[in-house]
Chains A and B, each alone.
Chain A
């Protein structure tokens, strides 16, 4: 009994000490400005990298929770975070209704990966309509005439195509489906574009790693993953024919060219998706992540958020490139600054 009481006292003491230490830590963190954002998992590596460097330089802290775009949108609508991040832009009407604004952060891209024994990475050439037909389940074999026509120099096997897609809701899926909707009327009508889809064919893998694992396991399969993931894992990627009819490989420059060929001045609330744009080097399946802010948030908060992203646009370029995100072209950043001034007054 006595022993019990003593251990109890000890436990209570240690809890009290731990508590006061926690309090001290919170007090420390409060020294600089602390911002909280939430949303897209796609942009997480970038925001994490920027915020670590930003804190070192300015002492201001940015906490980002990668809970998914849906969660990010819900949180910013509820006003529990300073900024939300989404891989799918909100429509201007919805922004107006909710008193929100949005702007792009950085460009990225994705590509198709294939599992064809004996064929080297970057050999197979695909076009948008053909990819749409594969994902619609209309092209079922690798030696289909449509594929042979695109790849006269490649010996395509008489193999069934297994379609692999993302099973989890994802901005990667949205960008991919948006591209297919632009190049294939049938895709647009039957499937459409969203972060999750009613897939007409195939199997779903969870995350880039799930899709890549399926593609690597299943001979004759095809899947789509983020460019960063292809680079890191040296996957067998395909080249694409872009809108100008040129054969291109995925590259940061290709993603940036897509952004450069968009006139953000004309797009209301940056509601424009970077897929299938013109330009000889433009990568057709380029994407973007949007940051969403509240107009009626305290001005100081919005100021801090814009300061952070401006810092990222300005000084975070090489950091972005190191993880396969393309910095926004300077012209785009200028448009964003004007947009902030107009809508937030900062």
Chain B
């Protein structure tokens, strides 16, 4: 069979196929149309919901924002008795506890994902992945209870050591001084880290696994170590997805409510030490919403919700910017 014969056969085949499909087309085109519109509608629904949430938060929080103005963002008083509200303590609490969580969770997740995708023997891969995914299925209230009843007492026992050693370091020492209560910003950050590790680790594992073996094996063939392959081949290849996974974890840490409420200590004051109790936006809303009787009080809590929304939005926008800059940098290099 020469080339032209192959082409002719191909055409004949295609022709027959198109006849068969055209018979079905009238039926399937309606289904196709409905399917396309249907999926488009649900996708659009998400956008509408998002906008609706934003608008209703602005409406409900307007009274507080109007009464306190920009000072709402920078004052630390939160006094339901005199109806004076400021959000700074909670904004700082949210950002600091999430930052601690990310500092711990990102390297650990990277290690887990690298172990599963590159280093672990085949028979161990499944069980380890399953265990990590099970961690993600535990309800956050269980993490809260575990944090309060199991982790906090244990952590309280090692806090004197933290005071003596980390607290003695000049400069950052002040971050690690405080009474050994076992609860506080650091505890909240650590438990948050445990909660978000499964999300970040499983996304990292999935994308590490799809890095083309040809790329990796070429690097190994050139004498690269596992670390060099991870650093120079896998990470650059999967950068977008890895960043996405990290920010998914961060989004969850910022908004986590129940677990944080149990272990952050719920004190409305700013302190330099991470061992001292604090409060986060989500925790104060969870704590106080049910008994918020005056309209300004309720409005202030909803304005806090709006701030959390905006913080999450900014974080996601920064992530996108970061990715764009990375890509641009890559372009100039080549």
A interface list, Cβ under 8 A from B = 41, 67-71, 73, 86, 88, 160, 162, 167-171, 191-199, 202-206, 210, 213-214, 217-218
Contact = CB atoms under 8 A, between A and B. Distances in A.
A203 B183 contact: yes
26 contacts: A68-B290, A69-B291, A70-B290, A70-B291, A70-B293, A71-B290, A73-B293, A86-B293, A88-B293, A162-B179, A167-B261, A168-B286, A168-B288, A169-B288, A194-B80, A197-B79, A198-B77, A198-B79, A203-B181, A203-B265, A204-B279, A205-B266, A210-B262, A213-B148, A217-B152, A217-B156
Contacts of B79: 197-198
Contacts of A198: 77-82, 268
Interface size classification for chain B: 20 to 34
Contact of B81 (A67, A69, A194, A206): A194
A203 B266 contact: yes
B288 to A, nearest CB: 5
A204 B267 contact: yes
B45 interface: no
B214 to A, nearest CB: 41
B240 to A, nearest CB: 37
Interface in B135-168: 148-149, 152-153, 156
B241 interface: no
Interface string B68-112: 000000000111111000000000000000000000000000000
A167 B258 CA distance: 12
Contacts of B245: none
B153 A167 contact: no
A207 to B, nearest CB: 10
Q: Which 7 A-B pairs have the closest CB atoms?
A: A169-B291, A68-B290, A204-B266, A167-B266, A192-B81, A198-B79, A195-B291
A168 B266 CA distance: 9
Given A198-B81, A210-B262, A218-B181, 15 more contacts: A68-B291, A69-B291, A162-B179, A168-B287, A168-B290, A169-B289, A194-B81, A196-B80, A198-B79, A199-B268, A203-B183, A204-B266, A204-B279, A204-B287, A214-B183
A192 B291 contact: no
Interface string B258-290: 000110011110000000010100010011111
A169 B268 contact: no
Contacts of B291: 68-70, 168-171, 195-196
